[in-house]
Amino acid sequence: MGFLNWVFSVVSAAALFVSYSSALTLDGFALLELKSGLNDTRNSLENWTDSDESPCSWTGVSCNPQDQRVVSINLRYMQLRGIISPSIQEHTKASAFSGRSLSL
Protein backbone atom coordinates (compact mmCIF):
# COMPACT_ATOMS: atom_id res chain seq x y z
CA MET A 1 0.00 0.00 0.00
CA GLY A 2 2.90 2.39 0.77
CA PHE A 3 4.27 2.08 -2.76
CA LEU A 4 0.86 2.91 -4.31
CA ASN A 5 0.53 5.97 -2.10
CA TRP A 6 4.00 7.08 -3.16
CA VAL A 7 3.14 6.56 -6.87
CA PHE A 8 -0.10 8.49 -6.43
CA SER A 9 1.79 11.33 -4.71
CA VAL A 10 4.38 11.52 -7.49
CA VAL A 11 1.73 11.50 -10.23
CA SER A 12 -0.32 14.15 -8.41
CA ALA A 13 2.71 16.37 -7.93
CA ALA A 14 3.66 15.99 -11.61
CA ALA A 15 0.14 16.85 -12.73
CA LEU A 16 0.12 19.92 -10.49
CA PHE A 17 3.50 21.03 -11.86
CA VAL A 18 2.40 20.57 -15.47
CA SER A 19 -0.84 22.48 -14.94
CA TYR A 20 1.00 25.26 -13.09
CA SER A 21 3.83 25.56 -15.60
CA SER A 22 1.42 25.90 -18.52
CA ALA A 23 -0.84 28.42 -16.80
CA LEU A 24 -1.56 31.76 -18.41
CA THR A 25 0.53 34.70 -17.18
CA LEU A 26 -0.91 37.44 -14.96
CA ASP A 27 -0.83 39.80 -17.94
CA GLY A 28 -2.96 37.28 -19.85
CA PHE A 29 -5.50 36.99 -17.05
CA ALA A 30 -5.75 40.78 -16.87
CA LEU A 31 -6.38 40.92 -20.62
CA LEU A 32 -9.06 38.24 -20.38
CA GLU A 33 -10.75 40.33 -17.71
CA LEU A 34 -10.58 43.32 -20.03
CA LYS A 35 -12.06 41.21 -22.85
CA SER A 36 -14.92 40.00 -20.65
CA GLY A 37 -16.30 43.54 -20.47
CA LEU A 38 -16.20 44.10 -24.22
CA ASN A 39 -18.74 43.28 -26.90
CA ASP A 40 -16.65 41.78 -29.70
CA THR A 41 -19.24 41.29 -32.46
CA ARG A 42 -16.55 40.74 -35.11
CA ASN A 43 -14.70 38.12 -33.00
CA SER A 44 -11.51 40.14 -33.32
CA LEU A 45 -10.30 38.78 -29.97
CA GLU A 46 -11.27 35.13 -30.49
CA ASN A 47 -7.66 34.00 -30.09
CA TRP A 48 -7.56 35.49 -26.56
CA THR A 49 -7.96 32.25 -24.62
CA ASP A 50 -6.88 30.95 -21.23
CA SER A 51 -5.39 27.84 -22.84
CA ASP A 52 -2.31 29.82 -23.90
CA GLU A 53 0.73 30.26 -21.68
CA SER A 54 1.24 33.85 -22.80
CA PRO A 55 -0.86 36.55 -24.45
CA CYS A 56 2.05 37.57 -26.68
CA SER A 57 0.58 35.98 -29.81
CA TRP A 58 -2.89 37.43 -29.26
CA THR A 59 -4.40 39.90 -31.71
CA GLY A 60 -3.41 43.47 -30.85
CA VAL A 61 -0.95 42.50 -28.10
CA SER A 62 2.76 43.33 -28.20
CA CYS A 63 5.27 41.97 -25.71
CA ASN A 64 8.82 42.66 -24.65
CA PRO A 65 10.92 39.91 -26.28
CA GLN A 66 13.18 39.54 -23.23
CA ASP A 67 10.62 38.97 -20.50
CA GLN A 68 7.44 38.28 -22.52
CA ARG A 69 5.56 41.00 -20.61
CA VAL A 70 2.82 42.95 -22.38
CA VAL A 71 4.09 46.38 -23.42
CA SER A 72 1.19 47.58 -25.58
CA ILE A 73 -2.34 46.71 -26.61
CA ASN A 74 -3.79 48.09 -29.84
CA LEU A 75 -7.50 47.44 -30.22
CA ARG A 76 -8.20 50.23 -32.72
CA TYR A 77 -10.56 49.62 -35.61
CA MET A 78 -11.94 46.41 -34.08
CA GLN A 79 -15.34 47.99 -33.36
CA LEU A 80 -15.26 46.86 -29.74
CA ARG A 81 -17.88 48.21 -27.37
CA GLY A 82 -18.38 47.83 -23.66
CA ILE A 83 -17.19 48.81 -20.26
CA ILE A 84 -13.71 48.33 -18.93
CA SER A 85 -14.05 46.75 -15.52
CA PRO A 86 -12.91 48.96 -12.63
CA SER A 87 -10.99 45.96 -11.30
CA ILE A 88 -8.63 46.20 -14.28
CA GLN A 89 -7.17 49.23 -12.49
CA GLU A 90 -5.97 46.89 -9.75
CA HIS A 91 -3.91 45.06 -12.36
CA THR A 92 -2.58 48.24 -13.94
CA LYS A 93 -1.56 49.71 -10.60
CA ALA A 94 -0.12 46.43 -9.41
CA SER A 95 2.23 46.06 -12.38
CA ALA A 96 0.58 44.21 -15.25
CA PHE A 97 0.23 47.29 -17.47
CA SER A 98 1.80 50.08 -15.46
CA GLY A 99 3.53 52.47 -17.80
CA ARG A 100 2.38 50.56 -20.85
CA SER A 101 0.15 51.65 -23.68
CA LEU A 102 -3.47 50.84 -24.48
CA SER A 103 -5.05 52.04 -27.73
CA LEU A 104 -8.80 51.71 -28.20
Quick: pLDDT tens for 9-66.
444 444 444 444 568 999 999 999 999 999 999 999 999 999 999 999 999 999 999 9
In 3-104, DSSP assigns E strands to: 38-39, 61-63, 70-74, 81-82, 101-103
- Lowest pLDDT segment from 56-60, 84-88, 100-104: 100-104
Is residue 1 included in any domain, yes or no? no
pLDDT at 61: 94
Q: According to the model, what pLDDT value does residue 84 have?
A: 78
| 73 within domain boundaries | yes
Pairing relationship of beta strands 70-74 and 61-63 according to DSSP bridges? antiparallel
**Residue range(s) defining the domain that contains residue 83:** 24-103
Return the CATH number at 97.
Answer: 3.80.10.10
Q: List, in order, residues 6 or more apart from 100 with CB less than 8 Å away.
A: 70, 71, 72, 73
pLDDT for 87? 63
Asked if residue 13 belongs to a domain, the reply is no
Q: What are phi and psi of 103, to 5 degrees?
A: -115, 120
Residue 7 is assigned to a structural domain of this protein: no
Residue 91 has pLDDT above 60, yes or no: no
What is the pTM for the complete model shown?
A: 0.68
Q: Give the other-Cβ count within 10 Å of 22's Cβ.
A: 10
Domain count, the chain: 1
With respect to residue 40, please indicate whether it lies within any of the assigned structural domains: yes
Q: Is residue 18 part of a domain?
A: no
Determine, yes or no, domain membership for 97: yes
Report d(CA 64, CA 73) in Å as an integer. 12
Q: Does residue 3 have a pLDDT over 60?
A: no
Q: What span, in angstroms and rounded, lies between the C-alpha atoms of 38 and 24?
A: 20
For residue 29, being part of any structural domain is answered with: yes
